[in-house]
Amino acid sequence: MTGRRSGLSKDAAAREIEKLRRDVSYHDHRYYVLDDPEISDAEYDRLRERLVELEEEFPELVTPSSPTQRVGAPPLEAFREVRHSIPMLSLSNAFGEEGMLEFDARVKKLLVDADGLQYVAEPKLDGVAIELVYEKGRLSVGSTRGDGTTGEDVTQNLRTVRSIPLKLISEGKGTIPGLLEVRGEVIMRTSQFKRLNEERRQQEEPLFANPRNAAAGSLRQLDSSVTASRPLEVYFHGIGRVEGLSFRTHQELLSFLPRVGLRVSPLVKLCEDIHEAAVYYNDMMKMRDALEYEIDGVVIKVNELAQQEALGAISRSPRWALAVKFPGRQATTEILDIVVQVGRTGALTPVAVMEPVNLGGVTVSRATLHNQDEIDRKDVRIGDTVVVQRAGDVIPEVVSVVTSKRSGSERKFSLPEKCPVCGVGVVRLEGEVASRCVGMACAAKLRQSIRHFASKRAMDIEGLGGKTIEQLIEKELVASVADLYSLEKSELLKLERMGEKLAENILASIERSKNTTLPRLIFALGIRHVGEHLSRLLAEHFGRALDGSGGPADRGEQRTPSLGVLGRLAFAGQEELEQVGEVGPQVAQSIRSFFAQKENVDIIARLFAAGVTIAAGEPRAESGLAGKSFVFTGILERHAREEARRIVESLGGRVAHQVSRKVDFAVVGRDPGSKVDRARELGLRILTEQEFEELVREG
């Protein structure tokens, strides 16, 4: 018995829901964490909307881990965590006037008194959501939305954005609140985005997909000087906590923000009713191509703050606000060819080469096909007539095929088995939609490979910045990371802005990097899904004996004694790899695929031949903290979060990200989050930062 809107049985729905959750979670990670989206916003919205529909129809299948139950994605480990005092909620979506009228009807039904209901309408900026905290008028913390509850601390980067005041403007006594948490959107103007991409094209760097992607990538730089060089701007649209001031309406709040130096969109409009808001929506849709920045819809909010409070929120979305999306901009054209691009992470992306067509005032001749699954699902063939769409993205996508126009001469397409750039084998890991080149020396990702290899947490080679790496590659002085160890001073001096002292320092740093540890070297290789933590676990398992190369005889590979201790890892089978804690089938497959490429093994052998040696391991003191588990919450005053983690690990302990009964100590800093409440519930030992230092000294 079905009796369901979808016509699906519960079992069939469960299977589709599970697949949708995997797909949405994967694209969340690509979009929010890696800043490297593989599908357009329109395609993502369709996946998520289908998931929401099925979960509403089958509420018994909803789980806390579903992507519909959270906002955004977890913060990157490279940044300190910042907990938002009031969650940064996402907005429910609607399309067109019909969706707005339905929203208005829901609001009026929920409100006891809906007389005089007004809305504030504004453009929906396609940027990166942030929160700034001003204490006594001075900027103290800046963070990304993250998962809506906890974001990434990007304060130093945001301080470089010129449209963000470091100190609020005072109009007189009492105008500056003691505390102000303000929310906004970081954007990049279209003209600036095009200029940035042109510079990257000339330098043969990977291009950003769209202005939002460029803004996110600029904001998440570990080096704030890179952010400072990017043309970022901010518009503010709301607040979190505020002390010392109060507001009656949202319009009143938006009028206040510019008076203290915080920019608000000049296109914000107070609408007397939903019909006036609908007119605003249509006006913005006509204006979108003339604007200097990307918008993908409008946002409408109930104006009276008391009414907002009465309406409250459902799940992770407020009942008093709505994002009204614009329809995608579409056209029809013919696919002349399909070519493959290799990204900086090695991902192979099929791109349709099309008969040029005008989309939203822009002539386009290429459109992304995302991956092989998308090509197969849409049955896209070379020679097809297709519908293409530019839904707010600079790079358009193929939406569908006009099968009625097929002549029979169209040709099917499959991604190559070898990388079109370097010829190394292409691998698609289980559970992933992207196929990837795993070659260490692939020219398409060489800049990224060298940067990662030389980074502080890997081989720690100082002086090898982006510009230097670019020149080394352009002048063909390095074709793989192994070539770094054969560089000579005379070659470095050929580079622009390279003096004798700098050249000597770089060579000295390269020489020092030869004496490293096994975890660092494994991490430096850039094996997909193998970060610092897994590198340590792999080193502990496979680094017990410096027994030369070698591995299971049934693998059939030629033994390479010059691989040293890495030989045990290089020739490990799937079963042995999965014996390592936290290594599952996907990670094991990634490791095996990496070492299965002869080109990678040759580069590693060259590293050892050049004098790279493995020390016994990172120094780890014997202490009473060995085996103990710590969790950190709040703002640490004396230690960066990464420094605290290293202290714990140097004493044989480990740092957990969540509070559980397996945790021994909870270290609490300023403005702690809910972790401290959970720690108290479980009876964990709670430490101040000073008590943590004392424990470390005693340990």
pLDDT digit string, tens, across residues 12-23: 889 999 889 888
Q: What is the pLDDT of residue 65?
A: 61
Asked if residue 610 is part of any domain, the answer here is: no
Three-state SS at 597? coil
Confidence bin at 552 (pLDDT 50/70/90): very low
Domain boundary among 299, 325, 351: 325
- Judged by average pLDDT, the poorest of 188-192, 205-209, 333-337 is 205-209
Q: Output the average pLDDT for the chain.
A: 84
Q: Looking at the structure, do residues 190 and 313 belong to the same domain, yes or no? A: yes
3-state secondary structure of 677: helix
Q: Which residue has the tokens 């909620």?
A: 89
CA 213 – CA 236 distance, rounded (Å): 19
Give dist(CA 158, CA 151) in Å, integer. Answer: 14
Q: Note the pLDDT of residue 31.
A: 63
How would residue 45 be classed by pLDDT, with cut points 50, 70 and 90?
Answer: confident
Which of 612, 537, 607 is CA-nearest to residue 572?
537
125 three-class SS: strand
Do 337 and 289 reside in the same domain of the chain?
Answer: no
- Residues 133, 63, single domain; the answer is no
Domain presence at residue 595? no
Check whether residue 176 and residue 120 sit in a common domain.
yes
d(CA 437, CA 639): 39
Same domain, 302 and 339: no
Any domain includes 565: no
Residue 90 and residue 171 share a domain? yes
- Looking at the fold, whether 238 and 107 belong to one and the same domain comes out as yes
Say how far apart CA 510 and CA 498 lie, in whole Å. Answer: 16
Instruction: Give pLDDT, residue 419.
Output: 92
C-alpha count within 13 angstroms, C-beta hemisphere, residue 513: 27
Residue 451 forms part of a structural domain: no
Handedness of CA 138, 239, 87, 32 (dihedral sign): negative
Q: Is the dihedral of CA 249, 253, 259, 264 positive or negative?
A: negative
- Give CA–CA dist 558/127, Å, rounded: 51
Please state the rounded mean pLDDT for residues 300-314: 92
Judged by average pLDDT, the poorest of 69-78, 293-302, 560-569 is 69-78
- Residue linked to tokens 């699902």: 377
**Which residue did the predictor score with more confidence, 546 or 160?**
160
Backbone angles phi, psi at 183, to 5 degrees: -115, 145
- If one counts the domains in the chain, the total is 4
> What is the percentage of the chain residues whose pLDDT exceeds 70?
88
Distance (Å, whole) CA 483 – CA 480: 6
Last residue within a domain, chosen from 69, 96, 112: 69
**What is the rounded distance in angstroms from the CA atom of residue 433 to the CA atom of residue 376?**
12
pLDDT at residue 641 is higher than 80: no
- Look at residues 149, 129, 104 and name the one whose alpha carbon lies nearest to residue 320: 104
Higher-scoring residue by pLDDT: 1, 298: 298
> 208 in a domain, yes or no?
yes
Q: Is 124 tagged catalytic?
A: yes
Q: Which domain holds residue 640?
A: 629-698
CATH of the domain at 401: 2.40.50.140
Task: Enumerate the β-bridge partners of residue 324.
Answer: 94, 298
Question: Is the per-residue pLDDT at 144 higher than 70?
Answer: yes
Q: Closest by alpha carbon to 182, among 133, 225, 253, 223?
A: 133
b/e per residue, 614-631, with b = 16+ CB within 10 A?
beeeeeeeebebeebbbb
| CATH code where residue 693 lies | 3.40.50.10190
Average pLDDT over residues 301-326: 90
Residue 192 shares a structural domain with residue 308: yes
Please indicate, yes or no, whether residues 251 and 126 belong to a single structural domain of this protein. Answer: yes
Q: What is the tens place of the pLDDT at every residue in 82-114? A: 889 998 988 888 888 889 999 999 999 999 888
Last-in-domain residue among 390, 405, 420? 405
Q: Which two tokens stand for residue 51?
A: 């998931």
Does any domain span residue 37? yes
Residues 120 and 245 in one domain: yes
181: its two tokens: 């948490």
pLDDT at 393 over 50: no
Closest CA to 304 of 228, 359, 253, 269: 253
Tell which residue, 171, 175, 177, 216, has the closest CA to residue 193.
216
CATH label of the domain that carries residue 65: 1.10.287.610
The three-class DSSP label of residue 368 is strand
pLDDT grade, residue 558 (50/70/90)?
A: very low
Per-residue model confidence as pLDDT tens digits over 363-382: 889 998 988 998 999 999 99
Q: What is the pLDDT of residue 250?
A: 96
Q: By the 8 A CB rule, do 456 and 189 touch?
A: no
User: What's the CA dihedral at 348, 210, 77, 130 to 10 degrees?
Assistant: -160
Q: Retrieve residue 75's tokens.
A: 């913060």
Question: Within this chain, do residues 196 and 341 fall inside the same structural domain, yes or no?
Answer: no
- Residue 230 included in any domain: yes
In the chain, the percentage of residues whose pLDDT exceeds 90 is 33
Residue 299, domain CATH: 3.30.470.30
- Active-site residue, selected from the candidate residues 19, 124, 167, 489: 124
Taking the CA atoms of the chain, what radius of gyration do you get in angstroms? 27
d(CA 668, CA 83): 13
Q: Are 84 and 240 in contact (CB under 8 A)?
A: yes
Confidence of residue 32 (pLDDT cuts 50, 70, 90): very low
Domain contains 338: yes
Is 318 found in the same domain as 192?
A: yes
The model's confidence at residue 395, banded by pLDDT at 50, 70 and 90, is low
Tell me which of 394 and 259 has the higher pLDDT.
259
